[in-house]
Amino acid sequence: MNPFSSGTRLRDMIRAIRACKTAAEERAVVRKESAAIRASINENDQDYRHRNLAKLMFIHMLGYPTHFGQMECLKLIASAGFPEKRIGYLGLMLLLDERQEVLMLVTNSLKQDLNHSNQYIVGLALCALGNICSAEMARDLAPEVERLLQFRDPNIRKKWAFPRSVPDLMGVDVSGDWNKRTNQLWNTVILASLWALWLERNNRIFDGVEGDKCTEGLVKTLKDVVNSPYSPEYDIAGITDPFLHIRLLKLLRVLGQGDADSSDCMNDILAQVATKTESNKNAGNAILYECVETIMSIEDNGGLRVLAINILGRFLSNRDNNIRYVALNMLMKAITVDAQAVQRHRATILECVKDSDASIRKRALELVYLLVNESNVKPLTKELIDYLEVSDQEFKGDLTAKICSIVAKFSLEKIWYIDQMLKVLTEAGNFVKDEVWHALIVVISNASDLHGYTVRALYRAFQTSEQESLVRVAVWCIGEYGDMLVNNVGMLDVEDPITVTESDAVDVVEIAIKRHTSDFTTKAMAFIAMLKLSSRFPSCSERIKDIIVQYKGNLVLELQQRSLEFNSIIAKHQNIRSALVERMPVLDEATFMGRRAGSMPATVSTSTTTSINIPNGVSKPSAAPLVDLLDLSSDDTPAVPSSTGGGGADFLQDLLGVDLSPAPNQPGMKPALQNGTDVLLDLLSIGDPPAQSSLSTSDILSSVQDNKLPVAPLDGLLSPSAPATPVIDLLDGFAVKPPTPENNGSAFPSIVAFESSLLKLLFNFSKPPGNPQTTLIQATFTNLSSDSFTDFIFQAAVPKFLQLHLDPASGNTLPASGNGSITQSLKVTNSQHGKKSLVMRIKIAFKMNNKDVLEEGQINNFPRGL
Amino acid sequence: MGLESVVGDQYCDLIIEFCNLLIHFVLLISRQGKVRLTKWYSPYSQKERTKVIRELSGVILTRGPKLCNFVEWRGYKVVYKRYASLYFCMCTDQDDNELEVLEIIHHYVEILDRYFGSVCELDLIFNFHKAYYILDELLIAGELQESSKKTVARLIAAQDALVETAKEQASSISNIIAQATK
């Protein structure tokens, strides 16, 4: 006998595990036990198999691996005695799941057990079948189960967990998700058979009852059950077998759906259940709940529905949280049936939103959301916003989202919408999603008569709240409409006048920049606002410049860059500043909404603006600049120049979209100005990849200098308001100072990549800005022999960490003695940039004097850092 | 007697559409987060099972005492109830009758109570297999199969008696063998 397994009994093992003080101790005990069990399994020890499996189950529940014991289950099931089988089947259900192949091995034992003379063994097998059974097993065992239906003993019949019709049903769709499907079929039939048996127990079998009469039969059964005298065996809280009640009601629901006659037939009994059932205990409430659900689902009967809604109303005012929870749940369904009746309970539901229980709050909030309509939106929103002030932090997210969605859905008047949104932002701005405050800005920009009102309200709100998105909206509006803030423009009757000086307005933006809780996006937005204010309030210009200049050494590249650029705009270019920081054109609401719904392509504006893009590709295509400027895209990650501005959904791209169709209310000059602004914004928006930072400013300016042509027409456009020269001036002024690297590629020397007696190959390198991984190679082939080459073909291969793209060569004939050359462009992307340098294997094939020549070689002398 | 004879052929499909599993799984977790019983009626792989247990014990054990007994979780609803140091949890679909599930939990606890004689957590630790046997008499494939406490008790008692008899037989046989080989 095994020296290990004889030691501990199950009880002792459990004690030992429970005595462990640390997880490590527990692991040690389990490891020792597992080792002993394995040893015992290896010896095929029959006496302790039973005990070993019990131990394994306990270990399994603690979460340790027990797969090595799976075969033991099968062995126990195959043994003759009841105790072994009992534990074996338990192990089978606990340690294995439907997916395991081992399960196939048990089919034969199951078959035998289903035919066993001992009813309890048959019961065990049926129970196992009901819990884990694959489609294959189902098919194999169907005949046995069917035979069992003839069994006399009701306990076995009750366990008729096996749908005898499964093989037929399975024929329909065995291939699909059989696991799910069998499970579903199973339970269907189990359920039906259980009902059948319950009905049988209550002596209510409908012999030969078909169709419509079925409802009658069930109604009669339910009636009997409801009116049955006290029966101690089935009594729960004074109700005889509530489980049976519930099942009968469920069945009636199925029969009554879409069947007016059946529904009619069950009206009386439903009314009786709804009125007579005691509702002071959970069991009674469970029945009422089911009854209400049935009343709601069957064909309409006004009286019954009123009764049902009243029951829910009673539930709603119950002190028990469970009952209130189900009431809210049911009212959500009832709202489709009778919205008016549910509205009557609005006040109570609103109270539930403020409950201390998260499950109830969540349900109630969803229900309130459904209850909102045009007539009650104002008071409901007010309630919810008031509650926002005091609600738990973890609930604020949900609540804010719902309020925003309600406000957006029912924004009848813009002033109301703006008011509510400002309240939400003030209370819970940190929970507001980006697109929500983006939408708010779009709305504000469209409500021209409310600009003054809004900016003043935001100014007030800013004094009391530090919520991030409120700050963002506030600095945006102050930047745009700062003059209205100071001059009390567009005063509404409802407002109290406030006195704000120009420097007060600047204070706000300064606070936003300096507050350490402000994130980088907020600060970037505040910078723009500053720039705008410097033009709106000339008196504060010096101060603004001082603030901005403090950030010229900021560690965040974007802020540093803005600081430098804006500083030079304020300092040197007074004359164009006002044109530069012109108020934003009205954002196109329809485009924005459409884009939010995902129906609009994100890059509407690309085509127009590319015309003024800087041709040598200063790191960014032009669709992005505004996004970039206001920084809604994530600029801290190095952007790939080819991506069209990353944040395709960002609303500020709309600004560019607006350029396409200048808003009709903007007379004459505006489009031109916008275009001008675009160019400049474009200029300012370059260079986010850190690698390039030092070059970016000079780079762009020099490049524009190189490309005066595309700018020139714009100068013409600008001329009525701002003379053309300043633009050039701005650029010139800069271009002089920094040492301008004329050519990015010049950083890398050309190499002779290959040279033989016949030909020479030169490589020139250049790097596209913003993408250090990519190298553009210009290959030049020269013929050193005295014969010309024809059918010239160049091939190249690179290792896996490189990607090579070959453009077509400039020709396939190479004249003799260096009297001409073939050029070909290559683009290599190095995924291991900085770690590995380029390497390339080449093959050059051509015909010389009609003879095939093949030259091969490897290029290892690429400059480092490509 | 089959399904058809009860409700008529034409309703079978309807019922198939209508019915599915009442309970997806049953969990017993102690207040310290130890698992005392798990029963899975819907297919979950072993890996998913551990994940579910971990997630749910996090949610349920942290809930306050006076709150409702329902937790919404991954599109399902978990009905739980605490008895002394043990949490009994059953997972059902969103639109199932939570109050009924609560009643089933209570029903199970009462049967356990009757069987062990005022049950405590230790009973369920040392006799965890008994708790499983009782659950198997009460639920089958996620459906309630017996609403009478007495019947369940009777069936369990009968099977326990069978085990006892088998044990006695085994020991008497070994006695006889021992006697004979003395």
What tens digit of pLDDT does each residue of A110-127 get?
A: 888 888 888 788 888 878
Q: Are residues A626 and A681 in the same domain?
A: no
Residue A392 lies inside a defined structural domain of this protein: no
Residue A413: C-alpha distances to residues A313, A409, A420, A450 (Å): 34, 11, 11, 11
Residue A134's pLDDT is what? 65
Task: Tell me the shortest Cα–Cα distance from A14 to chain B, in angstroms.
Answer: 7
- Look at residues A709, A742, A761 and tell me which one is the last residue of a structural domain: A709
Task: Tell me the shortest Cα–Cα distance from B4 to chain A, in angstroms.
Answer: 9
- A205 vs B contacts (CB less than 8 Å): 1, 6
Q: Are residues A457 and A497 in the same domain?
A: yes
- Look at residues A617, A638, A659 and tell me which one is the last residue of a structural domain: A638
What does the block give as tokens for A258? Answer: 């879409």
Whether the Cβ atoms of residue A293 and residue A256 lie closer than 8 Å to each other: no
B40 contacts A130? CB cut-off 8 A: no
Among B69, B128, B151, beta carbon nearest to A58:
B128
- Domains of chain B by start residue, with CATH: 15-147 (3.30.450.60)
What does the block give as tokens for A635? Answer: 């600029």
Among B2, B3, B72, beta carbon nearest to A359:
B72
Q: Are residues A767 and A807 in the same domain?
A: yes
A251 contacts B7? CB cut-off 8 A: yes
Q: Are residues A542 and A625 in the same domain?
A: yes
Query: Which residue has 């708010």 as its token pair?
Result: A440
Among B18, B22, B42, beta carbon nearest to A183:
B42
- A209 vs B contacts (CB less than 8 Å): 8
A242 contacts B100? CB cut-off 8 A: yes
Q: Which residue of B has its CA nearest to A121?
A: B159
Domain limits for position A808:
751-859
Residue A772 lies inside a defined structural domain of this protein: yes
Look at A203 and A127; give whichever has higher pLDDT.
A127
Residue B108's pLDDT is what? 93
- A214 vs B contacts (CB less than 8 Å): 6-8, 11
pLDDT at B89 over 90: yes
The pairing of strands B35-40 and A821-830 is unpaired
Q: Are residues A652 and A757 in the same domain?
A: no
Residue A334: C-alpha distances to residues A240, A273, A327, A367, A502 (Å): 28, 19, 10, 10, 57
> In a mutagenesis test of the A interface, which of B140, B156, B174 is the best target, namely the one with the most A β-carbons within 10 Å?
B140
Residue A809 lies inside a defined structural domain of this protein: yes
Residue A147's pLDDT is what? 65
Q: Calculate what percentage of chain B has a pLDDT beyond 90.
A: 24
Stretch A312-320: mean pLDDT, rounded?
Answer: 84
- Look at residues A655, A678, A709 and tell me which one is the last residue of a structural domain: A709
Whether the Cβ atoms of residue A569 and residue A531 lie closer than 8 Å to each other: yes
Question: Out of A146-160, A647-661, A774-788, which region has the weakest mean confidence (pLDDT)?
Answer: A647-661
Among A120, A194, A286, beta carbon nearest to B159:
A120
Q: Calculate what percentage of chain A has a pLDDT beyond 70.
A: 71
Model confidence band, residue A603 (pLDDT cutoffs 50, 70, 90): very low
Whether the Cβ atoms of residue B11 and residue A257 lie closer than 8 Å to each other: no
Residue A633 lies inside a defined structural domain of this protein: yes
pLDDT at A547 over 60: yes
In chain A, the number of structural domains is 3
Q: Which residue of A has its CA nearest to B125?
A: A14
Rounded to the nearest integer, the mean pLDDT of chain A is 71
pLDDT in tens, A716-746: 333 344 343 344 444 444 433 344 344 444 4
A254 contacts B18? CB cut-off 8 A: yes
Residue A701 lies inside a defined structural domain of this protein: yes
Whether the Cβ atoms of residue A128 and residue A162 lie closer than 8 Å to each other: no
Q: Are residues A675 and A774 in the same domain?
A: no
A189 contacts B141? CB cut-off 8 A: no
Residue A784 lies inside a defined structural domain of this protein: yes
- A293 vs B contacts (CB less than 8 Å): 97
Task: Tell me the shortest Cα–Cα distance from B143 to chain A, in angstroms.
Answer: 7
Q: Are residues A631 and A651 in the same domain?
A: no
Q: Are residues A517 and A620 in the same domain?
A: yes
B125 contacts A243? CB cut-off 8 A: no
Question: Out of A287-296, A578-587, B148-157, which region has the weakest mean confidence (pLDDT)?
Answer: A578-587
Q: Are residues A577 and A440 in the same domain?
A: yes
pLDDT at A411 over 80: no
Q: Are residues A605 and A472 in the same domain?
A: yes
Q: Is A859 helix (H, G, I), strand (E, B) or coil?
A: strand
B98 contacts A326? CB cut-off 8 A: yes
A759 closest CA partner among A718, A730, A788, A797: A788
Residue B13's pLDDT is what? 40
Q: Is A797 helix (H, G, I), strand (E, B) or coil?
A: strand
Task: Tell me the shortest Cα–Cα distance from A421 to chain B, in angstroms.
Answer: 30
Residue A311: C-alpha distances to residues A92, A306, A567, A750 (Å): 46, 9, 70, 88
**How many whole angstroms separate alpha carbon A507 and alpha carbon A359?**
44
A581 closest CA partner among A673, A710, A719: A673
Stretch A259-269: mean pLDDT, rounded?
Answer: 80
Residue A533 lies inside a defined structural domain of this protein: yes
- B11 vs A contacts (CB less than 8 Å): 214, 254-255
Q: Are residues A632 and A651 in the same domain?
A: no
Helix axes A451-464, A414-428, angle to 10 degrees: 20
Q: Are residues A555 and A615 in the same domain?
A: yes
Among B103, B148, B150, beta carbon nearest to A242:
B103
Residue A665 lies inside a defined structural domain of this protein: yes
Highest mean pLDDT among A187-201, A224-238, A317-331, A589-603: A317-331
Among A183, A187, A246, beta carbon nearest to B43:
A183
Task: Tell me the shortest Cα–Cα distance from B158 to chain A, in angstroms.
Answer: 9
Among B8, B155, B166, beta carbon nearest to A82:
B166
